[in-house]
Amino acid sequence: MTDAAVRAGADRTDALLALDPALARPSALAPMMRRGERPGFVVEDMTDVDAFAPTGVELPDGPLHLVEAPDRGDEFENASPAEALEAITAVGRSPMLLTEGLLWVLQVPEVLERNHCFMTIGSRIRKASGQLDSRTPALWISNGTGRDGTERRDAPKLGWCWWNNRHTWLGIASAGRRPRID
């Protein structure tokens, strides 16, 4: 990966290095996130987190690509994923994938900021019926309440939100181009 980063321009600040989602399981990436001493975690009721896959997003062939111009989507705070998707694609951008969001937090931890976190609506689960699951993955900072437990207060959290719900503190992340890294 170091060689790939050098080829892509390791000094770039307008892009992040991403892995093909098939090579980077969210369940393995989430605990690598850190906020201070607190490791990241996946919410208990998201046992199928690794089944979230790119939906409606074209990825370049190959194991590595760049995500140019990543954006947390703060302007979509209090918008539903359905509403944001239309606005994102109208300007030639695409929704960020769950794995890209996790890799973004790993590469730029400060992107996950209390009260300004983000959903990654480019990853969904398709049910056997062909319908999409109504959950969408999101990354935010735990308040340490409920099933999270007080020991996880302030830890990076991988959870989910309903497709048609709005949250005043969750943006909807998007990406510019996704060039392949050779």
| pLDDT tens digits for range 164-175 | 999 999 999 999
Q: Are 117 and 140 in contact (CB under 8 A)?
A: yes
Q: What are the structure tokens assigned to 174, written together?
A: 């998007």
What are residue 67's DSSP bridge partners? 16
For residues 14-39, average pLDDT: 95
DSSP state of 98: H
Q: What are the structure tokens assigned to 79, written together?
A: 């918008």
Rounded to whole angstroms, how far apart are CA atoms 36 and 155? 8
| pLDDT tens digits for range 62-112 | 999 999 999 999 999 999 999 999 999 999 999 999 999 999 999 999 999
What integer pLDDT is reported at residue 7 of this predicted model?
A: 53
If pLDDT is split at 50, 70 and 90, which confidence band does 42 have? very high
What integer pLDDT is reported at residue 182 of this predicted model?
A: 86
Amino acid at 74: D
What integer pLDDT is reported at residue 123 of this predicted model?
A: 98
pLDDT of residue 26 exceeding 90, the answer is yes
pLDDT of residue 8 exceeding 90, the answer is no
Rounded to whole angstroms, how far apart are CA atoms 18 and 15? 9
pLDDT of residue 27 exceeding 80, the answer is yes
Q: What are the structure tokens assigned to 124, written together?
A: 């969904």
Angle among Cα 26, 169, 70 to the nearest 5 degrees reads 55
Instruction: Return all residues near 150 (Cβ < 8 A) that are at least 6 apart.
Output: 144
Q: What are the structure tokens assigned to 167, written together?
A: 């949250």
